[in-house]
Amino acid sequence: MRRAAFLLILLLTAATLCQAAGFYQLPPQPPQNRYGDLMLDRVSSAAGQKPVFFSHFTHRLRDTCRVCHFELGFAMKQGETEITEEANREGMYCGACHDGLMAFGHNQKHCNDCHTGDAQIDTETFGQIRQQLPPSPWGNGIDWSRALEKGLIAPRYSLYHPDEQPMGYDKRLELSANWSMVPPAIFDHKSHGRWLDCNNCHPDIFNIR
């Protein structure tokens, strides 16, 4: 009797999990060397130019997320930010760094460096760098937070204020799930604060409470 009851509970649990898995049809992850790569074409094709290939991997080695997604005003969702050549030449968006001094500038000979029209993947360089950094089973196979914590990378926290540092808020939150048999989620402000600004999440995505 006990065994039958145990088997029934096991079957009901498996059915619940299968139903949840079927409800949340998450897209498959891209190959590790393509994770975070974007083709930006909100205005390029309309202006007679090839789309821009953007690699999060190469930029993340140099800058934290907040530099682009807070200080420079890039939206988190692909295609929401209208990045024009005029804005870039005025030092906005990509032009804040691609000014001919910090990185190659906006002139004729460098157009095809960004306006590639397709993904330009340097698989060899990616593999070499990944081997030097802590591994992760997710994303592009790199534990970026651990790499930063160990001093293996030193991305800028601020483009405009070189001495600015994360505020040091280190509260860990335990967020309980409404579903039964689902463990709570642990959110660590400290690890997120090294990469993001508070305004990236608060108050638009999450309330402050």
Q: For the residues of the chain, what is the DSSP string, one character each?
A: -HHHHHHHHHHHHHHHHHHHHHHS-PPPPPPGGGTTEEEE-SSTGGGT-PPEEEEHHHHHTTB-HHIIIIIS---SSTT-S---HHHHHTT-GGGGT-SSSSS--SSGGGHHHH--SS----HHHHHHHHHHS-B-SSTTSB-HHHHHHTTS---BS-SS-TT--------EEEE--SSTT-PPEEEEHHHHHTTS-GGGTTTTTS---
Q: Domain residue spans in the chain?
A: 32-114
pLDDT bin (cut points 50, 70, 90) of residue 3 is low
Q: What is the mean pLDDT of the chain?
A: 89
pLDDT for 24 beyond 80: no
pTM of the model: 0.83
**pLDDT (mean) for 111-136:** 93
**pLDDT (mean) for 43-60:** 95
Asked whether the beta carbons of 71 and 160 are under 8 A apart, the reply is yes
Lowest mean pLDDT: which of 82-91, 153-162, 178-187?
A: 178-187
Hey, which CATH number is domain 32-114, 3.90.10.10, 3.40.50.150, 3.30.750.24, 3.50.50.60?
3.90.10.10
Q: What is the pLDDT of residue 17?
A: 47
pLDDT for 29 beyond 90: no
pLDDT for 30 beyond 60: yes
Q: What is the pLDDT of residue 198?
A: 95
